[in-house]
């Protein structure tokens, strides 16, 4: 049974840090309330569904957060200020370049006046410096706000708060909803308080359908923003039809559709009038090009046309 979105918020407790996050959001948005800076709200990573209040076990929507983290860097490159809403411990912009490498192996120790000095190994120094310069610039200019979540409930509470915070900026806002959000959850009042024991056999847990938050988001929370959702499929025959069905149901601006097997190489941009493919060749991928560069370049043009419909430049 799918729950009503109002019922969900009425019954799921607020995260303990929501008030702090809301203040950070309000301050970030206030900084850009009097100029023409464009804002991107990027969601990234997967959500968990706890099975107990004192959580030991949970159901996880796995996502490394790759698309969201990379896209944030390209939004910043195009001059956007970015609110990056990400799953704790998933990939983050700039630091994601060093994932998979042992951090301590990138560092070296030297001695100066008998005291140890920390340095970056030569083979990593240029890449670390490049990422650090971009990160420090974004922070110094106040262009990047990072807020984390773990559970589905935390994500949905934070998404509503972030949407309501950016709503006054109207058409200047892009919502880029790249998070992998759980489809099912256990309501708070049906969860076990303590760890579910195994002595009485396998537990019977009733999962409820998560309410379709895209509907109130588009129609109520940010009705004037440029909202982008994602559609991931494994059956190519369903990809475009499902993307277009989503557009017709929720009335947002764009669905970025991709196949699980080729998501890093090819996506299809689907709006109400047309669809077309953005892709990379094998040579481009071998040279380190990222499909997110093409996605964000395309999206920035769409957003500009949305802001100035008579200006096709």
Lowest mean pLDDT among 12-16, 197-201, 209-213, 236-240: 197-201
Residue-wise pLDDT for 132-188, tens only, equals: 999 999 999 999 999 999 999 999 999 999 999 999 999 999 999 999 999 888 888
| CA–CA gap between residue 156 and residue 215 (Å, rounded) | 13
- Dihedrals phi, psi of 81, to nearest 5 degrees: -90, 140
| CA–CA gap between residue 121 and residue 219 (Å, rounded) | 52
Quote the pLDDT of residue 38: 97
Pairwise pLDDT comparison (2 vs 118), residue with the higher score: 118
Give the model's confidence band at 106: pLDDT under 50 very low, under 70 low, under 90 confident, else very high.
Answer: confident
Rg of the chain over all Cα atoms, to the nearest angstrom: 21
The alpha helices in the chain, defined as continuous H runs, are 5-11, 18-31, 66-77, 122-140, 152-166, 214-216, 236-250, 282-286, 291-307
pLDDT at 203 > cutoff 70: yes
Q: What is the mean pLDDT of residues 196-222?
A: 89
Quote the pLDDT of residue 84: 98
> Is there a contact between 66 and 80 (Cβ–Cβ < 8 Å)?
no
| CA–CA gap between residue 191 and residue 230 (Å, rounded) | 30
**Tokens describing residue 117:** 């000095």
Q: What is the mean pLDDT of residues 193-206?
A: 82
Q: What pTM was estimated for this model as a whole?
A: 0.92
> Is there a contact between 182 and 65 (Cβ–Cβ < 8 Å)?
no
To the nearest 10°, report the CA torsion of 290, 291, 296, 299: 170
pLDDT at 1 > cutoff 60: no
> Is there a contact between 266 and 291 (Cβ–Cβ < 8 Å)?
yes
Residue-wise pLDDT for 87-104, tens only, equals: 999 999 999 988 776 778
Q: What is the mean pLDDT of residues 1-19?
A: 87
**5-93+138-224: CATH homologous superfamily?**
CoaB-like (3.40.50.10300)
pLDDT at 115 > cutoff 80: yes
71-85 burial: b if 16+ Cβ within 10 Å, else e: bbbbbbeeebbbbbb
Residue-wise pLDDT for 56-65, tens only, equals: 787 888 789 9
pLDDT at 40 > cutoff 90: yes
Quote the pLDDT of residue 86: 98
> Is there a contact between 87 and 148 (Cβ–Cβ < 8 Å)?
yes
**Tokens describing residue 241:** 């039809």
pLDDT at 210 > cutoff 80: yes
- Identify the CA nearest to 230 among candidates 194, 193, 184, 269: 269
% of the chain residues with pLDDT over 90: 71
């Amino acid at each position: 049974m799918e729950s009503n979105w109002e019922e969900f918020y009425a019954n799921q407790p607020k995260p303990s840090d929501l008030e702090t996050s809301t203040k950070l959001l309000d301050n970030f948005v206030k900084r850009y309330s009097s100029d023409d800076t464009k804002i991107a709200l990027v969601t990234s990573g997967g959500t968990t569904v706890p099975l107990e209040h004192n959580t030991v076990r949970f159901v996880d929507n796995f996502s490394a957060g790759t698309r969201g983290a990379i896209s944030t860097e390209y939004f910043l490159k195009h001059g956007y200020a970015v609110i990056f809403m990400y799953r704790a411990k998933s990939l983050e912009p700039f630091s994601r370049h060093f994932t998979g490498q042992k951090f301590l192996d990138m560092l070296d120790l030297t001695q100066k006046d008998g005291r140890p000095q920390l340095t970056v190994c030569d083979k990593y120094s240029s890449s670390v410096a490049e990422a650090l310069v971009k990160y420090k610039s974004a922070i110094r200019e106040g262009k990047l706000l990072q807020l984390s979540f773990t559970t589905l409930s935390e994500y949905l509470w934070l998404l509503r708060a972030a949407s309501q915070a950016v709503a006054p900026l109207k058409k200047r806002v892009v919502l880029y909803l790249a998070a992998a959000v759980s489809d099912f959850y256990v309501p708070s009042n049906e969860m076990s308080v303590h760890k579910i024991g195994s002595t009485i056999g396998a537990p019977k847990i009733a999962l409820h359908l998560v309410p379709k938050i895209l509907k109130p988001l588009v129609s109520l929370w940010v009705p004037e923003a440029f909202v982008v959702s994602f559609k991931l499929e494994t059956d190519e025959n369903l990809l475009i039809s499902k993307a277009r069905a989503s557009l017709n149901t929720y009335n947002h601006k764009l669905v970025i559709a991709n196949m699980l097997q080729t998501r890093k190489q090819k996506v299809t941009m689907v709006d109400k009038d047309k669809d077309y493919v953005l892709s990379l060749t094998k040579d481009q991928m071998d040279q380190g090009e990222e499909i997110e560069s093409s996605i964000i370049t395309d999206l920035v043009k769409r957003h500009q046309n949305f802001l100035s419909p008579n200006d096709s430049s």
